């Protein structure tokens, strides 16, 4: 069942990218223009530079995290509806903890961290970052990923261990953020998307992705997710959805 839920995360980055509510654009632009080094690996910088570089990384991570936490005030209602529905479902399956994990994976692992690592791919910047900026963005993305996973840096990346204090400082804020964006009763300011969406194309893409996901799902899981499998099968065969399903909606 968890595999089905996690595969649905493939659908969300496109929605998130359109809404731009968590766009790291201003933060990325500052990093691009900065001449400050964020290198904290002692094998890559001199001892004289290390302490100052640690301060730069801490400050940049604070800027990035604060912008994310403050974004909950204007969270897109469409995404709020999606995430809250996930939370309701996993709560029904006695896995309430899974809701926050799914949202965290969707927002951070599939959107925010990749967007920070590759700003050009997300149209945040028309240019590739210079080596100094690229390294800074890589380190910030590492911290954000651990923050989203509620994980400390270990021996493998011991040079980042000084950021464990930062992670612990913001864990409560991250927990509140994830709870807020999965709560259907959250008080957020509505924001609008001022563009156009090809609804037919998006629905067809959604149908294709869901059909692919269901190919590897056990029958018992499919039964639990009814009537979705029946609806997908009818659409794939070009048949009308059974009346018994449409009448129940």
If asked whether residues 125 and 225 sit together in one domain, one would say: no
Number of domains, the chain:
2
One digit per residue, pLDDT tens: the chain, 249 residues? 455 454 555 555 555 554 444 556 688 889 999 999 999 999 999 999 999 999 999 999 999 999 888 877 767 777 777 788 878 888 888 888 777 888 888 788 877 888 888 887 777 777 788 999 999 999 999 999 999 999 999 999 999 999 999 999 999 999 999 888 888 776 655 544 444 456 676 677 778 778 877 777 788 888 888 888 888 888 888 888 887 776 655
pLDDT at 229: 85
The 10 Å Cβ neighbour count of residue 192 is 8
Taking a C-beta distance cutoff of 8 angstroms, is the pair 144, 108 a contact? yes
pLDDT at 3: 52
Q: 220 lies in which domain range?
A: 199-246
If asked whether residues 148 and 220 sit together in one domain, one would say: no
Q: What's the angle, vertex CA 154, arms to CA 145 and CA 42, rounded to 5? A: 95
pLDDT at 72: 74
Taking a C-beta distance cutoff of 8 angstroms, is the pair 78, 199 a contact? no
If asked whether residues 214 and 132 sit together in one domain, one would say: no
If asked whether residues 113 and 234 sit together in one domain, one would say: no
Indicate which CATH number applies to the domain containing 76: 1.10.506.10
Q: What is the pTM of this model?
A: 0.70
In angstroms, the CA 40 to CA 28 distance is 19
CA distance readout (Å), 116 to 75, 85, 108, 125, 162: 20, 28, 10, 10, 21
Structure-block tokens of residue 57? 């990384």
Taking alpha carbons only, the member of 63, 67, 77, 73 closest to residue 19 is 77
If asked whether residues 155 and 213 sit together in one domain, one would say: no
If asked whether residues 115 and 43 sit together in one domain, one would say: yes
Taking a C-beta distance cutoff of 8 angstroms, is the pair 168, 147 a contact? no
Taking a C-beta distance cutoff of 8 angstroms, is the pair 26, 243 a contact? no
């Amino acid at each position: 069942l968890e595999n089905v839920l996690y595969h649905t995360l493939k659908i969300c980055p496109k929605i998130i990218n359109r809404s731009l509510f968590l766009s790291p654009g201003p933060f990325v632009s500052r990093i691009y223009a900065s001449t400050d080094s964020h290198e904290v690996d002692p094998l890559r910088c001199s001892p004289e530079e290390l302490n100052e570089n640690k301060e730069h990384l801490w400050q940049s991570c604070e800027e990035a995290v604060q912008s994310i936490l403050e974004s909950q005030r204007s969270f897109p209602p469409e995404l709020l509806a999606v995430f809250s529905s996930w939370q309701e479902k996993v709560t029904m399956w006695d896995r309430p903890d899974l809701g926050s994990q799914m949202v965290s994976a969707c927002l951070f692992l599939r959107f925010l961290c990749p967007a920070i690592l590759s700003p050009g791919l997300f149209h945040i910047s028309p240019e590739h970052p210079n080596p100094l900026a690229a390294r800074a963005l890589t380190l910030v993305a590492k911290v954000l990923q651990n923050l989203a996973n509620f994980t400390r840096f270990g021996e493998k990346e011991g040079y980042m261990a000084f950021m464990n204090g930062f992670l612990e400082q913001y864990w409560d804020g991250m927990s509140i953020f994830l709870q807020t964006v999965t709560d259907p009763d959250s008080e957020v300011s509505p924001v609008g998307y001022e563009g156009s969406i090809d609804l037919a194309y998006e629905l067809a893409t959604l149908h294709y992705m869901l059909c692919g996901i269901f190919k590897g799902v056990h029958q018992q899981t499919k039964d639990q997710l009814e009537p979705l499998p029946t609806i997908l099968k009818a659409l794939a065969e070009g048949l009308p959805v059974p009346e018994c399903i449409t009448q129940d909606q």
